[in-house]
Chains A and B, each alone.
Chain A
Amino acid sequence: MAEEKNILLSQWLEGSISEEGLAALESQYNLDQLRDVLEVQDQFSLDTVDSNDIWSGLQKNIKEAAPTELAKPQSKRPFIYLFILLLGIALAFFYFSKNSGTEIKTDKAEQKTHQFVDGSKVILAPGSSIHFNENTWQKNRTIKLNGQAQFDVTKGAPFTVQTDIGEVKVLGTSFEVFQMNSVLSLSCFEGRVLLSSKHNQSVEVTAGNEVKLTNEGFTDLKSHNDTAASFLRVSISYDRIAALQLAQEFSRFYNIPVKMELSNTNKYFSGILILDNKEQAASIIAQTMGWSYENQKTGIRFYE
């Protein structure tokens, strides 16, 4: 028991004390007062040396001293190193072959046109990117697309546009692919294209038609009279996109922050976004949704 007595306060602090032990302590010490002292002390910190001073001193010393050599491999080690080396080479090869190629990216409010070696052309909408390999272009015209672009394709090897949702194979010539979140819209302006989903369903889209593909499958086969991609026109039309998506789209074309101060962001917008006049674009959205808007220096604010 005497052995135990000299650790009672430690147990009390940790909350692991027995009732007997607690009674013994209470007869000897004012525990509430001790607890209060410790609580106030916990708010103090020690007067330490400024970290920046130590770090800059350390940096000076480090420059003069190099790290020691790696321990020398023991006799069994070479195999492991050889294995790691081979693994490294394989990974590097994999990485290189996967990533070799060209990437073109657009910022917000930026549009880029790229002409491929075969004369095919892509016009990339703001906030989008494509990735392709020009070295093997003549044999394999495959483009990975993230975002929105118009393609004008010359005759030649199969021309394929891949997105996360599905891929578009070109049978003819001019079309627009627009992938936003998990919806892919495809409009064909000239000739024919073949759109395939991940589940190997496919649909052929002919000039003057538009189709949407989601993870559930194809929807909305519609005809249109457009001759160029939506983002190349003066306005772009949306069908039931969420308020927050609308804000992202607005910001993508005008490169300004867009704030939605809505009591309920679960609202959908169907209508047009004008691409060449910010004020007008905001005004039309506000009218359509019954919101108000403010065109500030720092961005556009929509509110109810």
Chain B
Amino acid sequence: MNLCEDRHFKKAFDEWNVRIQHFLFSRGLPKSEVADMVQDCFMRLWKNCNKVKYEQLGAYLFSIAKNLKIDHHRKQSVRLKYRIPDAAKIELEDGQFTLELEEFKKELTDAIDDMPFGAKEVFLLHRFNKMSYKEIAESLEIGVKAVEKRMHTALSILAKKNINIKGRV
């Protein structure tokens, strides 16, 4: 598959755009800057379309995204609110339910915000990008053990929040 061809490049974009966005979110980037960052990633890919193989795409894009974020992080350290909109899957039955769901979202977002940067990053990649510990370790260039430790930290913070869903959702 030749990435210099428009249709293959579009396919690569469709396949990786959302995952790169999640990656950037997990690194604490605001939505207002994510669009530009994703464009930057794919522009670099386009400029190097001759050199990158389709199978290496994920690793290539994540490594660009990682460096972009580091550049960005050095310039201005922004701490962000994490937003979790409800997916269409969850059907809201009545007003009371909506309120409770909003409450749940708020508690969840608070818990994620309380996680240390590294733990939050790993947690979000695992939950939203559905990446395995090994894949996360490779994209962040850390060991699998380190990923497991960070995930443990993230989950323990979430568990300590004692968010009760039974009887609410």
Which residues does A use to contact B, with CB under 8 Å? 6-14, 29-31, 33-34, 36-38, 40-49, 51, 53-55, 57-58, 61-62, 65, 67-71
Contacts and interface: CB of A to CB of B under 8 A. Distances in A.
13 contacts: A9-B151, A9-B156, A9-B159, A12-B155, A29-B156, A33-B162, A33-B165, A36-B165, A40-B165, A43-B86, A44-B86, A61-B39, A67-B47
B139 interface: no
Contacts of B156: 9, 29
Contacts of B133: 10, 14
Interface string B109-150: 000000000000000000110000100000000000101110
A70 B50 CA distance: 6
Given A40-B165, A51-B18, 7 more contacts: A6-B149, A31-B159, A34-B155, A43-B89, A57-B35, A57-B39, A68-B48
A40 B169 contact: yes
A9 to B, nearest CB: 4
Interface in B16-52: 17-18, 21-22, 25, 31, 34-35, 38-39, 42-43, 46-51
Contacts of B51: 68, 71
Interface string B81-92: 001111101100
A69 B51 CA distance: 10
A67 B159 contact: no
A33 B43 CA distance: 44
Interface centre among B4, B48, B153, B156 (most CB of A within 10 A): B156
B87 A43 contact: yes
Contacts of B84: 41, 44, 46-47
B68 interface: no
Contacts of A10: 133, 147-149, 151-152, 155
Nearest to A53: B35
B46 A46 contact: no
B108 interface: yes
B155 A67 contact: no
B14 interface: yes
A7 B145 contact: yes
A37 B46 contact: no
B47 A68 contact: yes
Contacts of B38: 49, 54
Contacts of A43: 86-87, 89-90
Nearest to A69: B50
Contact of A49 (B21, B128, B149): B21
Contact of B31 (A8, A45, A49, A58): A49
A273 to B, nearest CB: 43
Contacts of B164: 33
Given A37-B165, A65-B47, A48 B22 contact: yes
B163 interface: yes
Given A33-B166, A65-B47, A41 B152 contact: no
Contacts of A44: 84-87, 90, 105
Nearest to B22: A46
A11 B148 contact: yes
Nearest to A68: B47
Across the A-B interface, give the 8 residue pairs with the lowest CB-CB distance, nearest first. Answer: A9-B155, A7-B148, A10-B148, A10-B151, A29-B159, A9-B152, A49-B35, A34-B159
